């Protein structure tokens, strides 16, 4: 039996209030352009002709990239404001669905996707076992899951922790690039709690990467480049759906 989790998504209100600001900052943020995105994209398998789901698609930059690489793309996001922006950006080139990734993914049939990608979204979900079990169901055999997420040693998250091994909800303050700081509620979890649920739900881990800033970052933002070398902000993971019996 599939487990359900009927809690209201923690990100819903924040993204209702800050969607436009968030998108404006993120489209050009050095932390995304020169750090998280290049690392995540390097972990992707070939996507041409593949069915790909962007889980937590936001305003759709990753969907747009995947489409440009020849993928057949669906995106899902819980925030109506984000869904609206993604639909406006992508028109009929992608199927954008409004749904909660913390619930069973009833919009997708078994083995509907070759690849699920998720950029900086999973830290809004408390129970990753529910999510990974659903991703396992909707992936083909040998399908891949690639995601980026808050690093357990992200300086702000680590500073606010009460107990390293517990999964803790805290307000993450975003200030760089914003007119006034915004607080986003996030779950910080240990490295074990990031990786263990993958094995428990039938995935094999193929890669775990701590991003490092690119040379462009050094050129355009030497101060940020230096900061990113001192401490990681995010973690990127690639896993494959494990086929029982070694198929
Ligand atoms: C940090 S933004 C990242 C958006 C996009 N992946 C990007 O890279 O720009 C996180 C996104 O996750 C979405 N999100 C948060 N919780 C969610 C949930 N429970 N189900 C679906 N989407 C969720 C938010 O609405 C938001 O668009």
Calculate the dihedral angle through the C-alpha atoms of 7, 76, 188, 103, rounding to the nearest 10 degrees: 30
How far is the CA of 51 from the CAs of 106, 122, 138, 139, 202, in angstroms? 17, 21, 11, 10, 20
* 149 vs 168: CA distance, rounded Å: 15
| 67/18 Cα distance (integer angstroms) | 26
| Per-residue pLDDT, 244 | 63
DSSP state for residue 44 in the 8-state scheme: -
Q: Which pLDDT score, from 0 to 100, does residue 180 have?
A: 83
Q: Quickly count: other Cβ atoms within 10 Å of residue 230's Cβ.
A: 7
pLDDT on residue 1: 34
pLDDT of amino acid 245: 55
- H or E element, residue 130: helix 128-138
CA nearest neighbour of 60 among 16, 92, 103, 30: 92
pLDDT(3) > 70:
no
The reported pLDDT for the residue numbered 2 is 38
Are residues 53 and 62 in contact, defined by beta-carbon separation less than 8 angstroms? no
What is the best residue among 96, 121, 130, 182 to mutate for testing ligand 1's pocket, by most ligand atoms within 8 Å of CB? 121
Largest Cα–Cα distance of the chain, in whole Å?
Answer: 55
The CA 58 to ligand 1 mean position distance, Å, reads 5
Instruction: Tokens for 88, please give them.
Output: 């406006």
Identify the three-state secondary structure at position 182.
Answer: strand
Closest CA to 200 of 126, 122, 129: 129
Q: For 72-109, write each residue's pLDDT tens digit.
A: 999 999 999 999 999 999 999 999 999 999 999 999 99
Residue 123 carries which DSSP code? Answer: G
**Strand, coil or helix: 113:** strand
Judge whether residue 22 has pLDDT over 80. Answer: yes
CA-based end-to-end distance of the chain: 24
Q: 168-174 and 203-209 as β-strands: parallel, antiparallel, unpaired? A: unpaired
Residue from 21, 78, 85, 97 to probe ligand 1 pocket by mutation (most atoms less than 8 Å from CB): 78
Residue 204 pLDDT = 98
What is residue 16's predicted lDDT score, i.e. its pLDDT? 82
Give the pLDDT confidence of 116-172 residue by residue, as tens digits.
Answer: 999 999 999 999 999 999 999 999 999 999 999 999 999 999 999 999 999 999 999
All residues at 6 or more sequence positions from 137 whose CB lies less than 8 Å from its CB, including other chains = 105, 110
117 lines ligand 1 (CB under 6 A): no
């Amino acid at each position: 039996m599939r487990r359900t989790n009927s809690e209201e998504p923690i990100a819903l209100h924040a993204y209702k209030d800050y969607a436009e600001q968030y998108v404006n900052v993120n489209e050009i943020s050095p932390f995304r352009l020169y750090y998280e995105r290049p690392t995540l994209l390097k972990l992707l398998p070939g996507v041409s002709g593949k069915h790909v789901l962007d889980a937590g698609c936001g305003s759709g930059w990753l969907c747009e990239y995947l489409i440009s690489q020849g993928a057949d793309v669906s995106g899902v996001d819980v925030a109506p404001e984000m869904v609206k922006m993604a639909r406006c950006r992508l028109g009929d080139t992608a199927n954008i669905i409004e749904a909660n990734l913390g619930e069973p993914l009833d919009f997708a049939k078994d083995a509907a996707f070759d690849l699920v990608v998720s950029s900086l979204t999973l830290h809004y979900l408390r129970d990753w076992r529910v999510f990974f079990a659903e991703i396992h169901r909707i992936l083909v055999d040998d399908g891949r899951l690639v995601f980026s997420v808050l690093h357990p040693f992200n300086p702000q998250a680590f500073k606010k922790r009460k107990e390293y091994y517990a999964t803790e909800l805290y307000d993450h303050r975003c200030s760089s690039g914003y007119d006034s700081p915004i607080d986003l509620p996030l779950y910080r979890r240990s490295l074990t709690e990031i990786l263990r649920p993958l094995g428990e739900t039938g995935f094999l881990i193929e890669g775990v990467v701590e991003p490092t800033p690119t040379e462009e970052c050094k050129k355009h933002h030497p101060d940020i480049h230096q900061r990113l070398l001192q401490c990681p902000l995010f973690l990127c993971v690639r896993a494959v759906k494990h086929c029982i019996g070694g198929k």
